[in-house]
Amino acid sequence: MKRKILRYNHLVSRYNRYRRKLNRVESGQSKYRRIDMLVKRLKNLYMELTNLKSTIRIATASVAVIGGLVIAPNALTAQSFEMMTDVPTRHAHTEQFCKPAFADVDGDGDMDLFIGGKSETTISVLHNDILYFENNGGVFSNADSPFPDSLNIAPTMSDTARVSPAFVDYDMDGDPDCVIGLEDGSFIYYRNDGGQMVGVIGAGNPFDGIVLGSGNASPTFFDVDNDGDMDAVIGKADGGIAYYENVDGVYTERTDAANPFDAINVTENSAPAFADLDGDGDMDLFVGNKEGKIAYFENNEGVWTANIDGNPLSQILVAGEDSAPAFANLDGDDDMEVYVGANIPGLLEYYDPDENRNFRFINDNQLNITRLANDPNPGLVDIDKDGDMDAFFGMGDGFVEYFENVSGTYVKQDSANNPLNTGVFKTSAIAAPSFADLDDDGDMDCYMGTYEENIVFLENEGGIFTRNDADNPFAGIDAGANECVTFTDYDNDGDLDAFVGIKAGAVKYYRNDGTADAPMFVEADADNPFDGIDFTNTVQPNFVTTVSSGDMDGDGDDDALVGQSNGIVRYFAYEGTALVERADLNPFAGYDFGRGAALYLSDYNNDGFPDLFLSNAAGATYYFENTGTSSVVDPVLSQMTSIFPNPASDQVTLEIPWSNGEALIELVSLSGKVMFTKRSYKLEMNFNVDQLPTGMYFVRVSGDEGVAVKSFVKQ
């Protein structure tokens, strides 16, 4: 049953991905030409979902098709989150020297992803590894690697060896084996035994005793001489390419004129891969290099010739140097996509071809938040008071970047249009913004965590921020380095308290003992639900512990997420009178987001549920939409619902002309906390809001007809 439920959820994710792609085609945002193929896949997936639902009788799986999207049911009681991305490999990464390779090692008919590189980092120690991301119906996720924990790398290389995997069915038993090139030019070999990779040494290793003189062996396999077996084409540190012909299972080096790649040199650290991107029926050669570029060598009847002007990947220049391309068709169309690894920060870059075979970089999220420099820390707020959430990112260098939300798409603004530009704020390192109207003046102020300073108060007066040390409610409080602040009324006394994550791997609690317009924070260790919990990571100790609050389980009180320095997210549910860790209900269990998982809960799509923005130290930002526990917002009912005046100061009027019976009305804060509930048969009703703190709120109406959500601003 569990496997069927997992299959169901994987199919839902695939359906949603194809539906979003079709939406972009229909709206003119994509020039993809095979609409008929997308429609066919959608129909087939819908039929399979319907049949599977009937088979396993999922009680809560009322598959809702709203605006063409299937909303997945949640098998547990916590809310479910879906990563909204057009990148098939999603958050796949390693720490350094990212070398991707695709292979169906588990024999399930789809291509899984393996990434060689340095997977764990401290200041001075690097661990070599092959990370495994399993393909489940088109959705890639972290999984236990079929490789052993130790790759049998010589101790003398353990801190420096690059790991470059390549797959080939060397023993001709029908499954892919693996040859791993290392930094010293040697190779190790793993045989695939029923989906588990078993190391073979000595004579059983087809590359035993072979060492490339210049080092940095980066192998790939291709039938160069067209004799029916796979030859080895190997990139080298000096930028050249070695060729080992497969002669009856024995790899034999060919040099000079016998090496068809002898004239190729791409300066340093060549990483070859073959693909037929021009559709002429033969395999061309693409070679990554230290500069982060990809060179193109066109195949003309077995002769590979440099073609600079015709290079379809000439625009690629990866951040962090040492580009390593791999090719796969994971989105189910007729074209090969390009996945490019890099050294630092170890992320994959994904390029998808349009109908003219122009390869476009596809962002990690669908919101147009681009990859940033090191250590971004997100903070969301409706800074321009236009009814949607804008995004600020505090950066590792102490600056703050600003993305304005323009009709659901984030547009990066220059310094002149950035309310938190360097004329307002700049610290030496690690800025982490959080927003709240603690002084009850109708403006969302900024509380900035930093590396060296204590929490900085940036007062918002009519959209203009000014540093105000005199009125800083955190004045005199030294929480620790790399503070990350989140606000919630934890003690339920009507004002906002604060949790502060710090570099030392702790989350501290500060109770607000001030007044409505003059907050004052006091550390309250005895009431701290995180007291005694160690969030440190011995491998990656130098990154902030982040914390964010929101009503994750829809029960009316604020839960919390904690992002650790090693990329793990932990979930704490508010149960009874305190926050309690619930690993069993953690919607992000099993994810590894890379160093420094910086997170922020905010209702981006105005549906009354907190969504998640998560950035890592490498600069990628991922967006997870909260799909709720069971109810799905009906856009038609929401359009028919009215709330006025908006903005409001004392009272609002709610109109729900579509309701034909009893309706549940919930007032929800921006963090997802339910402020009050009411049941009513009326089509029009008034609510007093004068006691609410200023900010954005949502009214969620649930009836037999469906669920509607409307937002308003309390002044």
Query: Is the confidence at residue 363, as pLDDT, over 60?
Result: yes
> What's the mean pLDDT in 63-71?
35
pLDDT tens column, 385-437: 999 999 999 999 999 999 999 999 999 999 999 999 999 999 999 999 999 99
Instruction: For residue 477, give both structure tokens.
Output: 């409080």
**Candidate ranges 27-31, 402-406, 532-536; pick with highest mean pLDDT:** 402-406
pLDDT: is 479 or 23 the higher one?
A: 479
pLDDT value of residue 543: 67
Equal fold, 80-84+367-630 vs 99-361: yes
pLDDT value of residue 636: 72
pLDDT value of residue 157: 56
**Rg of the chain over all Cα atoms, to the nearest angstrom:** 27
> What's the mean pLDDT in 114-141?
70
In contact, 668 and 674? CB cutoff 8 Å: yes
| Residue 309 banded pLDDT, cuts 50, 70, 90 | very high
Query: Is the confidence at residue 45, as pLDDT, over 80?
Result: no
| Residue 13 banded pLDDT, cuts 50, 70, 90 | low
Place of tokens 């927003």: 435
pLDDT value of residue 315: 95
| Residue 20 banded pLDDT, cuts 50, 70, 90 | low
The number of beta carbons lying within 10 Å of the beta carbon of residue 360 is 13
Helix (H) or strand (E) holding 450: none
Q: Which CATH architecture has domain 632-714?
A: Sandwich (2.60)
pLDDT tens column, 666-689: 888 876 677 878 888 889 999 899
| Phi, psi values for residue 46, rounded to 5° | -65, -40
| Residue 707 banded pLDDT, cuts 50, 70, 90 | confident
DSSP state at residue 102: E
| Residue 7 banded pLDDT, cuts 50, 70, 90 | low
Average model confidence (pLDDT) across the chain:
86
Instruction: For residue 503, give both structure tokens.
Output: 């570099």
Give the closest residue to 140 by CA, choosing from 569, 586, 592. Answer: 592
Bridge partners, 321 (sequence order):
none
Instruction: For residue 182, give both structure tokens.
Output: 């290392």
pLDDT value of residue 4: 53
Residue 345 and residue 695: Cα distance in Å, rounded? 37
Query: Is the confidence at residue 583, as pLDDT, over 70?
Result: yes
In contact, 339 and 328? CB cutoff 8 Å: yes
**What CA dihedral angle connects 370, 498, 714 and 432, to 10 degrees?**
-20
Helix (H) or strand (E) holding 53: helix 35-56
Pairing of strands 456-461, 464-467: antiparallel
Q: Where are the domains of the chain?
A: 1-61, 80-84+367-630, 99-361, 632-714
pLDDT value of residue 321: 86
Query: Is the confidence at residue 589, as pLDDT, over 90?
Result: no
pLDDT tens column, 238-259: 999 999 999 999 999 999 999 9
Q: Is 159 helix (H, G, I), strand (E, B) or coil?
A: coil
Half-sphere exposure of 353 (CA within 13 A, CB side): 22
Residue 525 and residue 531: Cα distance in Å, rounded? 7
Percentage of the chain beyond pLDDT 90 is 58
Query: Is the confidence at residue 598, as pLDDT, over 50?
Result: yes
Give the closest residue to 147 by CA, choosing from 196, 194, 181. Answer: 196
pLDDT value of residue 471: 95
Phi-psi region of 706 (alpha: psi -120 to 50; beta: other; left: phi over 0): left
Query: Is the confidence at residue 46, as pLDDT, over 70?
Result: no
Secondary structure (DSSP) of 479-502: --SS-EEEEE-TT-SSS-EEEEE-
Instruction: For residue 345, give both structure tokens.
Output: 């920060």
Place of tokens 């809560």: 60
Residue 120 burial class via C-beta count within 10 angstroms: exposed 0-12, middle 13-18, buried 19 and up: middle
Residue 103 and residue 153: Cα distance in Å, rounded? 22
In contact, 488 and 499? CB cutoff 8 Å: yes
What's the CATH fold of domain 80-84+367-630? Tachylectin-2; Chain A (2.115.10)
pLDDT tens column, 151-208: 767 655 555 557 899 999 999 999 999 999 998 899 999 999 999 999 999 999 999 9
Residue 410 and residue 376: Cα distance in Å, rounded? 16
Give the closest residue to 132 by CA, choosing from 151, 145, 116. Answer: 145
Give the closest residue to 393 by CA, choosing from 417, 414, 369. Answer: 369
Query: Is the confidence at residue 609, as pLDDT, over 90?
Result: no
| Residue 479 banded pLDDT, cuts 50, 70, 90 | very high
Query: Is the confidence at residue 357, as pLDDT, over 90?
Result: no
**Distance between the two ends of the chain, CA-based, in angstroms?**
51
Residue 697 and residue 641: Cα distance in Å, rounded? 15
| Residue 704 banded pLDDT, cuts 50, 70, 90 | confident
pLDDT value of residue 24: 64
| Residue 592 banded pLDDT, cuts 50, 70, 90 | confident
> What's the mean pLDDT in 587-606?
90
Query: Is the confidence at residue 588, as pLDDT, over 70?
Result: yes
Pairing of strands 400-406, 271-275: unpaired
Query: Is the confidence at residue 453, as pLDDT, over 60?
Result: yes
528-540 residues labelled b (16+ CB within 10 A) or e (exposed) = bbbeeeebebeeb
Query: Is the confidence at residue 66, as pLDDT, over 80?
Result: no
Secondary structure (DSSP) of 392-410: EEE-TTS-EEEEEEETTEE
In contact, 640 and 705? CB cutoff 8 Å: no
DSSP state at residue 545: P
pLDDT value of residue 286: 98
- Whether omega for the bond prior to residue 645 falls within 30 degrees of 0, making it cis, is yes
What's the CATH fold of domain 99-361? Tachylectin-2; Chain A (2.115.10)
